[in-house]
Amino acid sequence: MNGDKRKHTLDDHLYGAEHDHSHEGDGDHDHDHDHDHDLPPGPLEENAIWQQDNLVLSSVGIDIGSAGTQVIFSRLHMRRMGEDLSSRYFVVKRETLHESPVALTPYASDVRIDEKALALIIDDAYAGAGIHPDQVDTGSVILTGEALRRENARAIGELLAEMGGEFVCATAGHHMEAMLAAYGSGAAKVSHERGIRVLNVDIGGGTTKLAVIEHGEVLETAAFHVGGRLLVVDAEGSITRLDPQGQKLAREAGFDWKLGDRVPPGALDAVAQWLAETVCTAILGDPRHYLTEPLRNLSRIGGVMFSGGVGEYVYGREDRDFGDLGRRLGLEIKKRLDRLPGKLLPAGECIRATAFGASEYSVQLSGNTVYVSQPGELLPRRNLQVLQPPARLDGEIVPEKLAAVIARHFAAFDLVEGESEVALAFRWRGEPSFERLSAFARAITLAMSRTIAHRKPLFLILDGDVANTLGGILKDDWRIASELLVIDGIALRDFDYIDLGRIRMPSHTVPVTIKSLVFSKDPRVPHEHRHHHHHG
């Protein structure tokens, strides 16, 4: 009996399984389990130290595109990578809990999305997943492509954020969407695993997004205005939807159509052929129809991957026709693959790429040195604009000088201190001595005088380990009346927007979602916050 008895390991404890096991027999038992001496007995999940270093968040990604709306629920496993408590948490694993069916994005008119119908689609998704909004820790609503152009796009984002609790609502610009698609499709992962440079071509209902990726990192992105659902016909061949761009592209293909026109047989095929040509020439650099600058560098591309709804047809994973150009366009592109750089890579996620990218998108949790004067009043907070004054904090800190630098930075961004709520970000360098921190605190009181006079909240973000001390100095020594949140361990940049979630116990962390989407070399391990400057 002793021969086949496997030696039990730490894994037996990991899931709380068998933690009250007993040893029978007289085998040689190792009672000095590696974690016994520093952790109390019991299941690991209930252990406070383990919980501080490992967090499991449930996340939702909602992608409202020109054509389709979908919802994906994921479970994100986050781990703190460094030894020190202030180090970042990173997504180490993502499991899909539930995928809603893809619904057609409901439009109330040419210029409005139907928000009631949209709310129903999302309610149904939660019901289908068996998940209550309160159980969701983080998530993002991404409005992309043509949906973004609708006059009520912003209102919709806010409505959904209200509905969903801890939500990020980002209207993804073209670059951001191209990046989301590249991560969500799996192209970034493939570029990392195969060591090749990959071009991801995400063709949606309204726009096509391009991303060049190497070692899992997006090098550049671009977008042009060709999609599979800019024109829709009914069973009789009458045009029921015609976006201005759809009308323009059809005209270039030789057809002058308007809403309600009957489309002659064979005409849609001709338009699709013309569009597929346009896609190829656009990828190869023809600047017409671009919504951004075209890609600058297509050299050394080892593989091309398609995603988005039209990608489903390129790979032959979908053959239904939805009355638009999607199916025909996908098939025509398939005939022209030899003209594109790199060979066709196997399909990853196609139509769900953006939603997948959205569900894991850059959740960072700040280390547990957080100073929060009044959690109930300060959190959660959405869409805080980040300002990073170009302050050098390595030498002597002169309060008046630093305050002037901060003031100039507000002016540079056309923001008025005291009127717009912003998070000030600094890179702390040098000794965290009381004198230096006190001088820094003094500079903040000078620079943010109106905010403080009106008792408006103050948000400070540093990438050193000084939050608690600094918070204490501002509240106790300078006695500011404003509620105050100081978070450290996060490096931010100008143009970032952040969302701050509610404080999580027992780890005392504040979930911080950074919205300028930047990921690390390997999409599966640490996200490093790098800024890509896009001039477009």
Angle subtended by helix axes 174-184 and 187-194, to nearest 10: 60
Tokens of 394: 């390595």
d(CA 258, CA 249): 12
**Confidence at residue 234, expressed as pLDDT on a 0 to 100 scale:** 95
DSSP state of 46: G
Q: How far is CA 35 from the centre of its chain?
A: 36
Residues 6 or more apart whose CB falls under 8 angstroms from that of 280 comprise 333, 336, 339, 340
Name the amino acid, one letter, at 386.
V
**CA dist 385 → 107, 306, 466, 496 (Å):** 30, 33, 22, 6
CB 333 within 8 A of CB 61: no
DSSP 3-state of 139:
strand
d(CA 388, CA 490): 12
Whole-angstrom distance, CA of residue 353 vs CA of residue 516: 18
Can you count the helices (H) and strands (E) in the chain? 16, 21
Give the model's pLDDT for residue 500.
79
- The two beta strands, 231-233 and 217-224, are unpaired
CB atoms within 10 A of CB 81: 13
- Catalogue the long-range contacts made by 13-16 (C-beta closer than 8 Å, 24 or more residues apart): 13/43, 13/44, 14/44, 15/43, 15/44, 15/45, 16/42, 16/43, 16/44, 16/45, 16/46
Taking the chain (536 residues) in runs of 10, the rounded mean pLDDT of each run is: 42 35 41 41 60 74 86 80 53 82 87 85 92 78 70 70 57 74 87 93 94 87 94 95 94 97 96 97 95 91 96 95 95 97 92 75 51 83 82 87 93 84 86 90 95 93 82 92 83 66 70 50 30 34
Strand partners, 72: 61, 99
The answer to whether the CB of 356 falls within 8 A of the CB of 70 is no
Give the Cα separation of 468 and 428 in Å (integer).
14
User: In the chain, how long is the greatest CA-to-CA distance?
Assistant: 88
Domain ranges of the chain: 58-360, 363-514
- At 332, the amino acid letter reads E
- d(Cα 303, Cα 383) in Å, to the nearest integer? 36
CB count within 10 Å of CB 427 equals: 15
How does pLDDT run across 205-254, given as a tens digit for each residue?
Answer: 999 999 999 987 788 889 999 999 999 999 999 999 999 999 999 999 99
Cβ atoms within 10 Å, residue 404: 15
Predicted confidence (pLDDT) per residue in 433-460, tens digit: 899 999 999 999 999 999 999 999 999 9
Give the separation between CA 301 and CA 342, rounded to whole angstroms: 5
